[in-house]
Amino acid sequence: MTIRAAEEKDLQKVFEIFQEVVNQKVYYPYDKSTPKTYIEKIWVNLNNIIYVAELDREVVGAYIIRPNQPGYGSHIANAAYMVDSKIRGKGIGRALGQHSLQSAKKAGYYGMQFNFVVSTNEGAIKLWKDIGFEIVGKAPDGFYHHKKGYVDAYIMYQRLE
């Protein structure tokens, strides 16, 4: 597997992975009515720090980093990750997560915060804790899971030193 900076030619594949993951209705609050232009504005664009994971020359995952807030909150990074569900469980998410921490440090961020980690996404929570994140907050019933109903959403944070 190779992790490299995304290029314009990668963005359509990243968007397709994004759609596939979002359509599972268990990881992200976006739904199929979210316009592509909105996703391109906040997620799939080269204005963010964006890297892709390649396996056998095919893009199979990606992450973005951007400021969590403007101005006086811009020293904290926010990141989001997507891995093609056909190849989950092969360490791609972990590799992207670890790589993103180094990228955020290199870009000068003081910390990284995830604003919305769905509590039923146990694999992601375990991964983020394994690489140094902690749960610092909770939005009770913050996510509507299509099978389980209302579940909590966590805020997770890690200082980058």
pTM for the model: 0.91
Reference 82, options 53, 42, 115, 117; nearest CA is: 53
| Arch. (CATH architecture) of 2-113 | 3-Layer(aba) Sandwich (3.40)
66-75 per-position pLDDT tens digit: 999 999 999 9
Where exactly are the structural domains of the chain?
2-113
Burial of 17 from C-beta contacts in 10 A (0-12 / 13-18 / 19+): buried
93-150 per-position pLDDT tens digit: 999 999 999 999 999 999 999 999 999 999 999 999 999 999 999 999 999 998 999 9
